[in-house]
Structure 1
């Protein structure tokens, strides 16, 4: 795939250079001008990553004035002097070089327009996704995963640049922006957003920080009840988590897309209403109202944790935009020299590190702590023995590869339960009240195992996945103080409705934002790709509420972001 990504990147660079030639009609000056421009963009990106841990995107050029004010004087001077010298040098070269014959413009125009049109078409059609669903053997479909896809590449902007080169990345992001403007953006008027949060729905009296509980979310990689696959599989693999299970979480993702799950939990916005895009990568480039942002106003110290690289899913910049005080990634958990000691056979970091980081954050903390921890050691794929071979006996007559995958997955589940139990024992010794919320982000990507066990009733079910069974993971809640577990009654708890339930269970007042989310939940069990489920007991205008929720999503993700401005102003 890397080879084909490089191949496509070369084509885009060539097409852009040919496009410059159509305007300049001089070969040497075209090469000088294009390469300087590409170098300048790359240089600015390097500096932005250095100062802000975020990559340069086309929308940043709307903030030139703010950037110029914030940039260090020496950096501004060097860039301005460099641009000035280049402009003078370019004008001199342009006058010296003779224009070339017009017939050279024809092949350049054909090649440039054809290549760029192909890549723009690929972007606008999600790399020909719908076409390839029914034409999987077509030539373009064999290589579609190698086409630039900067709004859906889970590795995040930083590593996309590393794989594609900055010019290709910037071109793809520019087309993303055009795609959004043409098809997906709608500016919701400020008064419509203001109406969602009426002034009489003010926040209840804030509790004193000494009375507030620690809140710890543990989003466990691919954690799932494997007996849903087949009843012959080993039972009670996770006795401690089973003991505390209050419901199931309805995830927006199947087999991957971890960031979309945490997006829903942390913002209470909705992936389905946002076209199932990978929003951390495609859209979250500005401050967005969220659970940590609210808890900061109550006096919480807010921390995101993940024992993986800080750039995956753009988390280093996304967490800043969500208001987290810090992000503890693998880079902070251990030194680069020692990191290899914690990497398992599959290349993922053991969860010992993240659970130790949770303990360290809780120790000697004066403020109440909000920790959102994302584990990784039980990440697919499972074709290895990272936790040892044959820990579990698989009775069903399936392939050895499926037995091996299940053994690895179940062993990881068991380890997750042991980590969870050990953490609770340590927390139970602490004075401050603490609530722990444990859930799986999505079903595991078990690939052929699902087929061997007949998990899908038909090819259509396998493709469309319209049953909630494909999205339910265990949801466990533990606390060392009395909480209201009635909040979790029901068939499942959707990820986008989880946050206000946790706040109410822990006796923390709801701000206007979460009061509105609770209203939506009072009329809708879920708003999900499996269907929009209406609550029969709804005594509000359900259609108006759904439209307001859609407006909130559009405003926060694609619109003017009035919701953040209104809520931030009154927090």
Structure 2
């Protein structure tokens, strides 16, 4: 029954080479837009963008027409399945996060898979598409005979190769000729207008880092010479400096059309009234936590980086003079704490480049308490307090929580005690907001526990607490829209609303209080150094002068006109950042003492485990030492053996048949089976 169909494909070659790319493009756009009708509407609305997309698809698929027709149809079928998958994934991401599939997402595949089971349906559909692809390939291989190559096969191949070559080499010119417009402030609009292929391709071009036109050593020297700290420095005063970046923490009472049965964050609100507080502008919404963290720790701004990029995964590949480096020079112990996997956003590597002494991730936590799918913030609080108690130096701690991470269910949690009320909320939005309010209520209690614990320790200490970004409440901003908090997500005011999170501070050494401060995340590190009266770096000195002159916010460049920001406002800032992150590091040639060293003593965990003795005991072998954790495993002669955790000083394994010349080592591996901590090798002679 299939032979007539396959005969049609083999006898109507010109039609095949024209129709196959069209089908693939319609599949891509149909899945990406959510329906074939929307794909056809896009073709009618943007014929130029459709034409270019079709030509590119023609080149990609028909470059294989030089192969035997059976092989060509097999490859075409695989491409059809592949583009269908990519379109479907893009649509799912658009529904959940408000953005389609971006080039940078391929660098974050491990995060997308590791974060939750929210995308289970994606894998189900992909499995179905894979099964269909395999079935079609088998049918093609069975029913199509081998054919000889003909002359026009070479013509099609050459034409297709030229198409791909021109797009690769001259895409900027193509954009100019066809007046293609990259809509960088809204990737959903970008893909709606340009289509998935061109939108994705333009984003790929946009990932390139352009060198500032005035970048040279003399420019960097001038920038450094004219920027000295704008605040007093006290070298003898060394308070503990603690950052708490609380996952998706925000104040839902800011939505004027919504009321709550009780205040979800009463302690946070009390700190706002009694302590220095304000609003922090985050560069991201609903995700991209690492970009907020990157800005706060380095002083760099992601507004100078390509839209959609994640600095931690793409750009941090050499030592940086970040806050840990700056404060280590001044006698501080520097620790990073995160209640999630060590590899997430490449933190295990990046924290070393930023100058931390240690990184305590969830792998090193003994029997942590969970609240929902993630570790409760009270566990993070206790880790912070432990660090302050244990060290004999002033502490710099950057902590990142996880408890409040989305998604937020559309089914009401029966344990909820706080209820939202609004006439405009749908049942799904009502449940989402109720679930969120109750989660952050528990986070608020953890913050109170931290401050109460620090009061008891009674060391000079300051805390800066803020959310990394607004929570993603519903698909495509649904809760925010229904609550009247934003209009459509694309206006300048909507941008400010969706990127502004409240922050509070606490300290026990100053009575000076400031309210209603307004900073973007990249100024938070400089702000902390100023409060603690600590010296900084060329970057923080530049930022301190910008703050003194009233420039303490940097927003997306697409809104500079709306905010009346002159084009050259941040020219020095951008040049200095390029020098430190991508350039020749002229800054460190000018100021050698500021060159960050390679952090060779960096460890993961609170302390490295040590094996001091091995003692046989009633069929078991007791490994004695220090700094053991529950996830540690004993390796006997290089092979992992079943291990029982007894306490921080003891592990137990079954007694081996022989201990003669045995080697024993304790190791800890993360969820990707990478060894992240190991002890000395103990040799039993």
TM-score by length of 1: 0.65
Change (3 A) 1:546 1:135: closer
Which is greater in Rg?
2
Q: Match for 1:454 among 473, 484, 487?
A: 484
Q: Is the 8 A contact 1:433 1:479 kept in 2?
A: yes
2:234/2:533 contact within 8 Å kept: no
Q: Which moved more, 1:112-121 or 1:394-403?
A: 112-121
- SS in structure 1 of the partner of residue 384 of structure 2: helix
CA distance in 1, matches of 2:227, 2:160: 61
Question: What SS is found at the alignment partner of 1:526?
Answer: coil
Instruction: Work out whether residues 218 and 436 of structure 1, in 8 Å CA contact, stay in contact via their aligned partners in 2.
Output: yes
1:522 aligned residue (548, 555, 564): 548
Q: Mark the CA change 1:116 to 1:393 in structure 2 (over 3 Å): closer, same or farther.
A: farther
Superposed counterparts of 1:407-418, under 5 Å: 407-418=434-445
Partner of 1:86: none
Go from structure 1 to structure 2 and tell me whether the alpha carbon gap of 1:135 and 1:236 turns closer, same or farther (over 3 Å shift): closer
1:239-318 pair list within 5 angstroms = 239-245=266-272, 246-276=277-307, 277-318=309-350
**Aligned counterpart, 1:558:** 582
Cα displacement string for residues 283-326 of structure 1 (whole angstroms, at most 9, x for unaligned residues): 12222221111001001111122112222222222212111112
Contact 1:303 1:326 in 2 (8 A): yes
Residue in 2 aligned with 1:433? 460
Residue 382 of structure 1: CA displacement?
0.6
CA distance in structure 1 between the partners assigned to 2:194 and 2:325 by the alignment = 47
1:191 maps to what in 2?
Answer: 218
In the alignment, what sits opposite 2:244? 218
Q: Do 1:390 and 1:407's aligned partners in 2 also have CA atoms closer than 8 Å?
A: yes
Compared with structure 1, are the counterparts of its residues 367 and 103 closer, same or farther at alpha carbon in structure 2 (3 Å cutoff)? farther
Query: What does the per-residue CA deviation read over 1:521-546, in whole Å, with 9 as the maximum and x for residues that have no partner?
Result: 2231422125489999xxxxx99773
- Give 3-state SS (helix, strand or coil) of 1:477's partner: strand
- How far is the alpha carbon of 1:359 from its aligned partner? 2.2
Shift in CA distance, 543/396, structure 1 to aligned 2, threshold 3 Å? closer
Give the CA deviation at 1:476.
0.8
Match of 1:180 in 2: 208
**Contact 1:187–1:555, Cα closer than 8 Å, also in 2:** no
Deviation per residue, 1:113-161 (Å, 9 max, x gap): 76788789999999987697457568953x999x799x9xxxxxxxxxx
Alignment equivalent of 1:331, drawn from 353, 363, 369? 363
Shift of 1:497: 1.7
CA distance in 2, matches of 1:220, 1:258: 10
Match of 1:420 in 2: 447
Structure 1 195/478 Cα, relative in aligned 2: closer, same or farther at 3 Å? same
CA contact (8 A) 1:221 1:440 kept: yes
Does the CA contact (< 8 Å) of 1:185 and 1:558 recur in 2?
no
Alignment match, 1:394: 420
Conserved in 2, the CA contact under 8 Å of 1:287 and 1:564?
A: no
Offset at residue 220 of structure 1 (A): 0.8
Q: 1:454 to 1:544 in 2, by over 3 A?
A: closer
Q: Distance in 2 between matches of 1:319 and 1:509?
A: 21
Aligned to 2:72: none
Q: Is the 8 A contact 1:520 1:549 kept in 2?
A: no
C-alpha distance in structure 2 between counterparts of 1:526 and 1:263, whole Å: 16
Using the TM superposition, name which of 301-310 and 412-421 deviates more.
301-310
Matched, 1:228 2:254: yes
Counterpart Cα distance in 2 of 1:306 and 1:148? 35
Aligned-residue offset at 1:360: 2.3
- Asked if 1:380 corresponds to 2:406, the answer is yes
Query: How far apart in 1 are the matches of 2:212 and 2:226?
Result: 28
Deviations 1:187-239, CA, capped at 9 Å, x for gaps: 8212211222229948987634xx41111100111111112223542253212
The CA distance in 2 between the partners of 1:249 and 1:298, in whole Å, is 27
**Pairwise CA distance, 1:494:** 2.0
Q: Larger helix proportion, structure 1 or 2? A: 1
Alignment: residue pair count: 442
1:445 partnered with 2:472: yes
Q: CA deviation at 1:422?
A: 0.8
TM-score, normalised to structure 2, is 0.55
Q: Give the distance between the partners of 1:483 and 1:532, measured in 2 at CA.
A: 39
Taking only aligned residues, the RMSD between alpha carbons, in angstroms, comes to: 4.5
Deviation at 1:510, TM superposition (A): 4.3
Q: Any idea what SS the aligned residue of 1:309 has?
A: coil
Tell me, yes or no, if the aligned pair for 2:412 and 2:432 is still in contact at 8 Å.
no
Q: Does 1:479 align with 2:507?
A: yes
Task: Select which of 331, 336, 352 maps to 1:320.
Answer: 352
Note the residue ranges of structure 1 that are not aligned, 5 or more in a row: 5-14, 23-56, 58-99, 152-171, 537-541
What is residue 549 of structure 1 aligned with on the other side? 573
SS at match of 2:340: coil
Per the alignment, residue 382 of structure 2 pairs with 356
3-state SS of 2:337 partner? strand
Distance 1:313 1:552, change over 3 A: same
SS at match of 2:471: coil
- Contact 2:182/2:190 (<8 A) preserved: no
Q: Which is worse superposed, 524-533 or 188-197?
A: 524-533
User: Is the 1:187–1:560 contact (alpha carbons within 8 Å) kept by the matching residues of 2?
Assistant: no
Measure, in 1, the Cα distance between the counterparts of 2:171 and 2:182.
Answer: 6
> Is the Cα–Cα contact under 8 Å of residues 259 and 280 in structure 1 kept in the other structure?
yes
Higher strand share: 2
1:133/1:402 Cα in 2 relative to 1: closer, same or farther (>3 Å)? closer
Contact 2:208 2:306 in 1 (8 A): no
What secondary structure sits across from 2:504 in the alignment?
Answer: strand
Structure 1 residue aligned with 2:523: 497
User: Which residue of the partner structure matches residue 235 of structure 2?
Assistant: 207
**2:455 & 2:242 partners in 1: Cα distance?**
13
| Partner SS for 2:452 | helix
Q: Secondary structure at the match of 2:374?
A: coil
2:128 counterpart residue number: none
